[in-house]
Chains A and B, each alone.
Chain A
Amino acid sequence: MQQVIFIVLSLLTLSAAVMVVASRSLFRSALWLILAFAGIAMLFILLQAEFLAFVHILIYIGAIAILIIFAIMLSRGVMDPNEPRFNDQWRLVIGFGALLFVGLVVIMLRIPWPVNIVAVPADAIQLLGADFVGTYVIPFEVASVLLVAALIGAIVIAREH
């Protein structure tokens, strides 16, 4: 049963991801991207990681996708469906894309993925929180300093006008 749900969700996510690059309208692409994000969130729920799922929805759909849609709406010229789909760099880009794909496949095949059948502990959120201020305190703090820097930068840029 879980396998079936997993396959359905993965197909949904992947086809939405394909539609993101295949759709001619940029706004539609953004909506397909939201569907792909929602599919990933549902996969998290399937893995009994509700916290990650809802944070994923909150950050990726509630903030990042909205930002993308705002950026699209503020640049109306790119919405014309008669614009050519590719520019003259497409051969080069295909080469780099294929290289990245091969690299990712090699990495995925090489890593022994640890599969843990043990049930998820009930206090998983507490463990996550304790890890953020314990084992992984330095990456966590570095990320928050980065975000604060971006915030201050945005305010400085907005103030000049």
Chain B
Amino acid sequence: MYYIQDLFVNIARSWTSWISGFLPLWAVSGVNYLIMAVILVMMPVLATLTLTWMERKVIGRIQNRIGPNRVGPFGIFQAFADAVKMLVKEDVIPTDADRPVFNLAPILIAAGAALLWAVIPFGRGMAAADLNVGVLYIIAIGSMTMIAMLMAGWSSNNKYALIGAFRAVAQLLSYEVPMVLSIATVALVVGSMRMGAVVEAQVVPFVVVLPATFVVYLMAGIAETGRSPFDLLEAESEIVAGYFVEYSGLKFGWFYIAEYGNLFAISAIVTTLFLGGWRGPGVSAVPALGPFYFIAKIVAVVFLMMWIRGTWPRVRIDQMLGLAWKVLVPVSLANLLWVAFVMKLPLPTALQWVLFVVGGLAVLAVALGLLGRAGRRHVASKGMVQT
């Protein structure tokens, strides 16, 4: 019974003790690291195979269609059909492309999507490397994605690709600031940058305790993955496909995998930071339930992002930058200041957390009020009819 209760950790322990029987110590850790690395690399691929199907179904339902329904029951093998199509396509490299850089970019971008998974805890004691600077690691990996996008856009020798890369970097740089500020707020409350500690600290999920931080992080996260309404780095109607317009075949496939891998990873980070990660009813008695709660919460966040994609129009580039610098940065800064101030007050933790909620809601209310006033002023100045 005990074995079942903490199934995954016990399987890992049994495996380690079994191979220690006939392997030297360095080989045991080598084999274990290799297995972990393979799992991490498989995560974006797994995300692509499942989430593309989910996205098509969800968007289809939102648009009053059925979505894929020909390949397999409910079309669940649609992603496999697409994968085969991608594999047999011709690999085209533009004549004037900077070949080594052109070939390196898809590798780097897919590596970035896989590396994010290294610090994410799937359950208690179930992270590949629970670094004590885990949240900082996540932000640092994001900068690798930016470099890969610039490399792809520049080396393609195509103006649409270059414009896409410029847009991508402007967007990622701008939204990194509110993202870092909201992660800093969480780290301040937890008192640690370790992802495992963040989950352990969430007696109440931080989405309730830090509502403003959650909203800012979710918007910044959608922008970082380049999804609608912030998909202007690959806006099909304006710049064809953005920074990866010249890629075809499997190299295009790597960008596709990176996109869905990032979507899955950002949802996992949102779950870890704000939704209590693997926490759930009965998880302290039966730790093996943790990963299932974790995956269920991730899928809920992914669904929320698809819902937003299916219902919101794309923002313009000036609106996108304005939202980051004029709304999200002040909101997250005000929230961070409030949290830092309350943390210094000599109060019991529960009362502090209540004050966090009050402050967060006040910050959100003020921000929305100011935005509403600005919108009404804009409508009046343009002479538009207010409905």
Task: Show the binding face of A for B, using Cβ within 8 Å.
Answer: 25, 27-28, 31, 34, 50-51, 54-55, 57-58, 61-63, 65-66, 69-70, 73, 122, 125
CB distance from A12 to the nearest CB of B (A): 16
The 0/1 profile, CB within 8 Å of A marked 1, for residues 115-155 of chain B is: 00000000000000001110011011011101100110010
A96 to B368, CA, bound (A): 58
Contacts of B131 in A (CB 8 A): 50
Q: Does B327 contact A (CB under 8 A)?
A: no
Minimum CB distance partner of B100 in chain A: A28
A126 to B100, CA, bound (A): 42
The number of chain B residues touching the other chain, given as a range, is 20 to 34
Taking A27-B154, A50-B131, A55-B136 as contacts, is the C-beta distance between A62 and B176 under 8 angstroms?
yes
CB distance from A48 to the nearest CB of B (A): 11
CB distance from B166 to the nearest CB of A (A): 8
Q: Which of B135-181 contact A (CB under 8 A)?
A: 136-137, 139-140, 142-144, 146-147, 150-151, 154, 162, 166, 169, 173, 176
B140 touches A66 (CB 8 A): no
Contacts of B193 in A (CB 8 A): 125
Given A28-B98, A58-B139, 8 more pairs with CB closer than 8 A: A27-B101, A31-B101, A58-B143, A61-B140, A61-B147, A69-B154, A73-B154, A73-B162
A34 to B148, CA, bound (A): 11
B169 touches A66 (CB 8 A): yes
Taking A62-B143, A73-B162 as contacts, is the C-beta distance between A31 and B151 under 8 angstroms?
yes
B150 touches A69 (CB 8 A): yes
A/B interface sample: 13 pairs, CB < 8 A:
A28-B98, A31-B101, A31-B151, A34-B147, A51-B136, A54-B139, A54-B140, A55-B136, A57-B140, A61-B147, A63-B143, A70-B169, A125-B133
Taking A31-B151, A50-B131, A66-B150 as contacts, is the C-beta distance between A58 and B140 under 8 angstroms?
yes
Minimum CB distance partner of B26 in chain A: A1
A58 touches B136 (CB 8 A): yes
Contacts of B169 in A (CB 8 A): 66, 70
CB distance from A155 to the nearest CB of B (A): 10
A142 to B173, CA, bound (A): 25
CB distance from A120 to the nearest CB of B (A): 11
Interface hub of B142, B147, B169, B193 (most chain A Cβ within 10 A): B147
SS of B interface (majority) = helix
The answer, among B98, B133, B176, for a CB contact under 8 Å with A54, is: B133
CB distance from A3 to the nearest CB of B (A): 17
Contacts of A65 in B (CB 8 A): 147
The answer, among A27, A55, A58, for a CB contact under 8 Å with B98, is: A27
Contacts of A50 in B (CB 8 A): 131-133, 137
Minimum CB distance partner of A56 in chain B: B140
Interface hub of B136, B143, B144, B193 (most chain A Cβ within 10 A): B143
A63 to B101, CA, bound (A): 20
The answer, among A25, A57, A73, for a CB contact under 8 Å with B143, is: A57
CB distance from A74 to the nearest CB of B (A): 10
B146 touches A66 (CB 8 A): yes
A31 to B154, CA, bound (A): 12
A62 to B136, CA, bound (A): 12
A62 touches B146 (CB 8 A): yes
A51 to B151, CA, bound (A): 27
Interface hub of B131, B150, B154, B173 (most chain A Cβ within 10 A): B150
6 nearest interchain CB pairs?
A62-B143, A57-B140, A54-B140, A54-B136, A58-B140, A51-B133
Contacts of A62 in B (CB 8 A): 139-140, 142-143, 146, 176
A34 to B144, CA, bound (A): 10
Minimum CB distance partner of A52 in chain B: B133
A57 to B139, CA, bound (A): 9
CB distance from B330 to the nearest CB of A (A): 14
CB distance from A24 to the nearest CB of B (A): 12
Contacts of A34 in B (CB 8 A): 147
Minimum CB distance partner of B165 in chain A: A73
A159 to B131, CA, bound (A): 42
Contacts of A51 in B (CB 8 A): 133, 136
The answer, among A28, A57, A70, A125, for a CB contact under 8 Å with B101, is: A28
CB distance from B196 to the nearest CB of A (A): 14
Contacts of A57 in B (CB 8 A): 140, 143-144
Contacts of B137 in A (CB 8 A): 50, 54
